[in-house]
Amino acid sequence: MYLGIVKGTVVAERKAAGLEGKKLLLVQPVDEHGAPVGDVQAAVDTVQAGDGDLVYLVGSREAALACDPWFVPVDAAIVGIVDGIGLPAKAGP
Amino acid sequence: MVAPMWAAAKHPAFAGRPLFVVQPLDEHGGDAGPSFVAVDHVQAGIGDRVVVLTEGNGVRQILKAGDLVPIRSIIVGIVDSVDHGGPA
């Protein structure tokens, strides 16, 4: 799983069977400090995330398993909204 | 190396499962690639060096929570020490 920040919404009226009613969001993957990692991607939302939210996602086959029905063409799903991260103090020089 | 993470709103499969941000390390403790999120299965603590499984089928075998668990990474061990070998 990985972290991301919601950057917008994707509206697609015509979608593959099983994706009806699923919300698609634009997500910028980030590291634990909020710095971007890689390219923006579209992900299915399962937790009512909104613009600017720090979220965590699951990718690959497990992304489809987060959906109901689960046999759907999805490879990234938002599965939680992050409230906080307890970063350890920097060790050494 | 792990840092705890809190999330109130989450997919039901994550209910009651502690979450950590994990920074992969090489054998000398240097950063090795981007951090990611993992579920904890061994009561890891902040800053612990851990062993992480990052494959969905293995996660489902460990959690025994059915075939539809949308979890890909799980902490399965806490590292006590690493032996770099050398002369016996």
What is the value of pTM for the model shown?
A: 0.89
What confidence tens digit (pLDDT) does each residue in B48-87 have?
999 999 999 999 999 999 899 999 999 999 999 988 887 7
The domain of A56 spans 2-81
Residue B22 near residue B41 (C-beta atoms within 8 A) = no
Q: Which two tokens stand for residue A20?
A: 């009806």
In a domain, A87, yes or no: no
In a domain, A89, yes or no: no
Mean pLDDT over all residues of chain A? 92
Whether chain A has a CB inside 8 Å of the CB on B30: the answer is no
Q: Which amino acid is at A3?
A: L
Task: Please tell me the total count of domains within chain A.
Answer: 1
SS3 of B56, please?
A: helix
- Interstrand relation of B2-6 and B19-22 (parallel, antiparallel or unpaired): antiparallel
Residue B7 near residue A91 (C-beta atoms within 8 A) = no
pLDDT at residue A92 tops 70 = no
pLDDT at residue A62 tops 60 = yes
Residue ranges per domain, chain B? 2-78
Q: How far apart are CA A66 and CA A72, in angstroms?
A: 10
Percent of chain B with pLDDT over 90: 77
In a domain, A93, yes or no: no
Q: Which two tokens stand for residue B31?
A: 């950063």
Whether chain A has a CB inside 8 Å of the CB on B9: the answer is yes
In a domain, A59, yes or no: yes
In a domain, A68, yes or no: yes
Whether chain A has a CB inside 8 Å of the CB on B31: the answer is no
- Nearest-CA neighbor of A19 among A31, A7, A27, A11? A11
This complex has an ipTM of: 0.86
Identify the residue among B2, B11, B75 best suited for mutation to test binding to A, counting A beta carbons within 10 A and taking the highest. Answer: B11
Q: What is the CATH number of the domain that holds A68?
A: 2.40.50.220
The CATH label, of 3.40.50.720, 2.40.50.220, 3.90.550.10, 2.60.40.10, for the domain at B2-78 is 2.40.50.220
For residue B27, what pLDDT is reported? 86
Identify the residue among A79, A83, A87, A90 best suited for mutation to test binding to B, counting B beta carbons within 10 A and taking the highest. Answer: A79
Q: How many CB pairs under 8 A join A and B?
A: 93
In a domain, A45, yes or no: yes
Q: How far apart are CA A47 and CA B12, in angstroms?
A: 9
